[in-house]
């Protein structure tokens, strides 16, 4: 299976951890102050997960 690696300058480790949690069916909390990039990070994670689903690389679906 090919893994999609996200390329965030500040949050790469955290973003990869979120993807692993999602693949395991677990929840995660994304928190931060105003302007910290929460929405950007979430959108990028969703894009990466959508790409994986479209290539049938993951055992989950995004609805």
For residue 44 the two structure tokens come to 């990028």
pLDDT at residue 2, as a whole number: 43
Model's pTM, two decimal places? Answer: 0.59
pLDDT at residue 26, as a whole number: 87
Q: CA-to-CA distance for 54 and 34, rounded, in angstroms? A: 32
How many structural domains does the chain have? 1
Q: Which domain holds residue 29?
A: 1-63
pLDDT at residue 63, as a whole number: 56
Q: Per residue in 7-63, pLDDT tens?
A: 554 446 777 788 888 888 888 888 899 998 889 888 888 887 787 777 776 666 555
Q: CA-to-CA distance for 49 and 7, rounded, in angstroms? A: 14
pLDDT at residue 34, as a whole number: 93
């Amino acid at each position: 299976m090919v893994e999609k690696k996200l390329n965030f300058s500040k949050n790469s480790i955290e973003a990869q951890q979120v993807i692993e949690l999602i693949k395991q069916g677990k929840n995660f909390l994304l928190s931060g102050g105003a302007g910290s990039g929460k929405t950007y990070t979430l959108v990028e994670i969703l894009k990466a997960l959508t790409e994986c689903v479209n290539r049938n690389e993951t055992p989950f679906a995004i609805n």
